[in-house]
Amino acid sequence: EFEDAETGTALSLISDAFEELSDLIKKDNGVSIELRLKPFCDACSLVSVLFGSLGIAFKFAEMEYTSKVRDLSEAASLYGTLSKVIDYDVKSDTVQSAESLTRKLRRVRQGLDLIRELFQNFLSTDDYSLKEAASEAYKQVCAPYHTWAVRTAVSAGMCALPTRDQLLLNLNESDESAESEMRRYIKASLPIINYIDNLYTSRGITLDW
């Protein structure tokens, strides 16, 4: 349904966007580059279309994720870069505060990592159902930081995920095209995730939340 000769599938647009970001970061080994919020949020908001291929069970996850990306995006012109966001919250001692942008950035980063882990599981064996691949990824990446109530809702939602084949149909991908797009995303997202983590750890902020 997203297929278009000019623009490609949703998955290919996501991989393109993250490759562009990771190319920026790799240019100087991620040491001194300042990643800007605007292109980062633009890439993150593309991910939202994946939710559409999952059925209604993850409507609440979609709203959670997109509202955080939107809040960061709206602050883009004020802050400019990701590091400015964190500097601001460090100064005002609001790094982990409920509505802080530094907290939202941490959650969005966990979302990107969740997809990466999910794709990795999905590609690791044809025997994995989408439900198994997603449950494993969630358990590893997000569950440790979520409340019992959220974890329970997520595990109920997992049962309503489509099958592998249905997901590929919804995404307008073949086995082969999905594999190559997912591999591109896995490769491109890792340096971005590491870059974000480094913004926290280099300021003495732990990643256990």
22 or 110: whose CB is closer to ligand 1PZ? Answer: 110
Residue 166 CB, shortest distance to ligand 1PZ, in Å, is 11
Nearest to 111 by CA among 142, 82, 71, 74: 142
CB burial readout 152-170, b (16+ within 10 A) else e: ebbeebbeebbebeebbeb
Question: Hey, what long-range contacts does 181-184 have (CB within 8 A, 24 or more apart)?
Answer: 181/9, 181/11, 181/12, 181/14, 181/15, 182/11, 182/119, 182/122, 182/123, 183/119, 183/123, 184/15, 184/18, 184/19
Q: Does 134 bind ligand 1PZ (CB under 6 A)?
A: yes
138 or 200: whose CB is closer to ligand 1PZ? Answer: 138
Q: How is 161-179 classified by DSSP, letter by letter?
A: PPPHHHHHHHHT--HHHHH
Q: Does 111 bind ligand 1PZ (CB under 6 A)?
A: yes
Stretch that binds ligand 1PZ, among 11-19, 34-42, 59-67, 179-187 (CB under 6 A): 59-67
Q: Which of 9, 83, 102, 110 binds ligand 1PZ (CB under 6 A)?
A: 110
Size of the residue set binding ligand 1PZ (CB under 6 A)? 21
Torsion angles phi and psi, residue 36, rounded to 5: -85, 145
84 or 146: whose CB is closer to ligand 1PZ? Answer: 146
Q: Does 64 bind ligand 1PZ (CB under 6 A)?
A: yes
The number of residues making up the chain comes to: 209
34 or 175: whose CB is closer to ligand 1PZ? Answer: 175
- The residues of the shown chain that bind ligand 1PZ, judged by CB under 6 A, are 47, 50-51, 54, 58, 61, 64-65, 103, 107, 110-111, 114-115, 118, 134, 138, 142, 146, 150, 154
